[in-house]
Amino acid sequence: MGDKQRQSFGMVEKRKINTIGFFKKTKLEKWHFYLLGLVLLNFLTSLITGYSLNQSLIFILKVIIYLTGFVIFFTTLRPFKKIAVYYSFYFISVVLTGLFFLFGGILLAILSSLVLFPIFPKQTEYKTETIKIYDRFQGFMAPCCSYEVVETKLYIFENHLGYINIEKPINPKKDEFSFKDNVIIYKHKFNIDRTTKEARDTTEILNFE
């Protein structure tokens, strides 16, 4: 190996060391666990009280946790630390997701879905200034159509009201939902005759599960 090659190799190694030192100085690992603790605390609070941070904010926090975990993984390899096993989950998640976007395929789609399931945001089907209705995932073989209803509080908080079940998927352009006296008032068009597609306006009172 010539002097120039040794010099360039030394510069690369020095940059690697400086990068790792930067992440240590910025205490990235501490922030990773602070955010992880916040998300877990939010989950427990929502189970106990029904109140939680809104889904958009939680999704952002989860993405940051995944990305910081991915970056920190490289700092645990040299020298190898046992906690690298934990951070390898984020590394694998990001790699599988990247491969799926590059090459596609059913197998990569399934694998990336499994590792990213914890951060998938709830799908908003309907919202007003006071309530939001999320799709309720109950498994691929679950019957239609069950939804979670939350009440928005101070822009960044949500209060879980309960679950509702209706006979057809929500059409946000035609259906109307409102919350009053601890029930959901559901206005929609009901098909009287499927052959002629004749429909009439219908109002239902939905109780929470």
Higher-pLDDT residue of 32, 194: 32
Mean pLDDT of the chain, nearest integer: 83
What's residue 9's pLDDT? 46
Q: Is the pLDDT of residue 34 over 50?
A: yes
Higher-pLDDT residue of 72, 201: 72
Q: What is the pLDDT of residues 132-166, one digit of tens each?
A: 999 987 655 566 789 999 999 988 999 999 999 98
List helix spans (H) across the chain: 3-25, 28-49, 55-75, 84-103, 106-116
| % pLDDT > 70, the chain | 80
* Residue 103 pLDDT class (50, 70, 90 cuts): confident
* Residue 192 pLDDT class (50, 70, 90 cuts): low
Distance (Å, whole) CA 74 – CA 121 = 27
Q: What is the pLDDT of residues 120-133, one digit of tens each?
A: 888 899 999 899 99
Q: Which one, of 179, 161, 132, lies nearest residue 51 by Cα?
A: 161
* Residue 12 pLDDT class (50, 70, 90 cuts): very low
What's residue 43's pLDDT? 94
Average pLDDT estimate for 185-191: 83
Q: Which helix (H) or strand (E) holds 149?
A: strand 146-153
* Residue 104 pLDDT class (50, 70, 90 cuts): confident
Residue 192, CA distances (Å) to 5, 170, 177, 197, 199 in order:
81, 18, 21, 7, 5
